[in-house]
Structure 1
Amino acid sequence: MNSLRLRQQVYGWLLAGPFVLTLVVFFLYALVRTVYFSFTDYDLFSEAAWVGLANFKALLTDQLFLLSLANTIWFSLIVTCVQTVLALGLAILVNSKIRAKGFFRTAFYLPSILSSAAVTLIFIWFYQKNGYLNGFVTDVVNHFPHLSCFVAVAVATQFVLVTKDRLKGLPVGWFDPAWAILSVIVAAIATLVAGVMGWVEVSNEIVEVNWLNTRDHVGPMPLTLWAIVIQNIYTTIPTFMLLFLAGLQGIPGELYEAAHIDGANKWQQHWNITIPQLAPVTFVVVTFSIIGTLQMFDQVALLGSAAPLESRITLAYYVYHNAFPPGGTPQIGMASAAALVLAFITLAVVYLQKIFGVKEKADG
């Protein structure tokens, strides 16, 4: 009996051995070394000199560190909120009864399996002055009168048609598809006529927004980081959508049937059933998103010289920039101190999210 238990333990350690070794070498050992170097002045070439809390004090007066700290916090807050809402919306969409459901699930999930380096290079081209985004914005600005005319006529026509049916006592929704198709046709014809008659005209403005190679701020962050926000959301939403989709398929259909019998509309059903029942999944999504955005590095690093350092710096990249400065002396002590600050912020935010944020358990 003892020999059998011993063999089981040996087999267990053999299976867990590679993971335990990796954990010890690349996490525990690295953590201890990082803590030690954070209290030293070390440049990889000479002996480490003990300086105590000097590195942490230097961080508080380093404008680049303070800028990276602000950028990281705002980036994490904005991306986490936006991608959580959009991921939930996409999950509800692909979980509903629509045609070609498999195609849309595959199409929405595709960005998450693409190489981060390849996507970043594509987005660098996408954000060029003569790239697709500026071309798209230019077309929208030049055809804004036509778009405004189309939207105004479509909304007015839909309102008139639906109101007419409602006055007759018919249960018609404001987005009734039959009337919506007719409203779009009427709006298209009206816009075409307005263009032919010269009531609306195309302008010839050229929009050249400098998305990357700029130090301009838009709101709380540099414009470059807003561009990275779009890229990060594009590549991360599919994974979170899949998590939400798995959670949606675990919600009993009887809850929605009972709510429908009680007269609840779709919005009320999602607000009172879907969101509370998805609390555990939402907790996981928000936690993963916070950790990922606080430690976001690759997309910033791959931009390279396409954007100024001040416009794309984050805490994770600040650590790398101090450890491997281009053409400078490595500052391992500063990098280690900043890495510990990043780790502390990540743990603190996740812990606060667990206490005051999304609940881990769904409502009974």
Structure 2
Amino acid sequence: MQISAAALAQMIGAVVEGDAEVLITGPARIEEAGKGHITFLANPAYEHHLYGTEAAAVLVSHEFRPKEQVPATLLRVENVYETVRSLLEIYQQDEAARTVRQISQHASVEDGAQLGEKVRIGKFTVISKGARIGAGTVVLDQVFIGPNVRIGENCTIYPGARILRGCVIGNDCIVHSNVVIGADGFGFLPDGDNHYRKIPQVGNVVIEDDVEIGANTTIDRATMGSTLIRRGVKLDNLIQIGHNVEIGNNTVIAAQAGVAGSTKIGANCRIGGQVGFAGHLTIADGTNIQAQSGVARHIRETDQSLAGSPAYNYRDWIKSSILFTRLPELYKRIARLENQADR
């Protein structure tokens, strides 16, 4: 997309300072921006890049006052980060608007699959019998869509993802590369000889609207019923979600976290990287959990911050951590006092 600074300013509600007719071809980071790019300055630590940039235009706040002459056109806005989000959305939508219904000749779309308008199917992708894909969804190369899977409108499924039988994905979702949705849950029954017999996993995974799932994340199908990922959830890369787990609206989970089966995480929670949850727990809405914590009990009270393994109150954990670093010193002091007492 090529657009003048004046036209783009009108779209994002910016005030132009400089050449309003300079042409903008795309966004870039301020330290990498070249001719035709639009970039942004929100963090003062990057201000020095502004004075030598080759970018065509730079988003800045209304309050920003440059210390030197700026070669680029300035677009002044109320909230730089929010405007950057809107700007990237404009470019993404422009790309999608140029996408017509396109099915690679190397894709396999089985009889009985239903594809909506402007659906794109990449090379070596398999769309199984009974699958339904909504309008505007893009399924890239080497994706497997199992039987009777339902995918909503305007989703993007990146290369190598696997969405297995009967799973449901809502509208406006993003599934990154090598995600597996609907693998069997970890269900086994030991017999008297310590042999483990597999428990059939006959449920599915239901993912609501506006969910993003990072690369190599796995979400297991329910034993019965559904593993449920609610609207607005954002999952990072390399996360394991066990069978019959439920994750509430707008909860975010960072990389390498693991949630054991049948645990229910509430809405608006923020879970750090490498957090582990035991199974069959209930985690209250608004819970914040520090990275590398281990959660082995129910969290009933809302809006708590936790840390540690086992996880407990974050402030108490900070105090305990400080004391822990002083243990060698305290041990020596206690030993000296014991020696004095023995004399």
The two structures have a TM-score, normalised by structure 1, of: 0.19
Q: Which has the higher contact order (CA 8 A, sep 6+)?
A: 1
Structure 1 or 2: larger helix share? Answer: 1
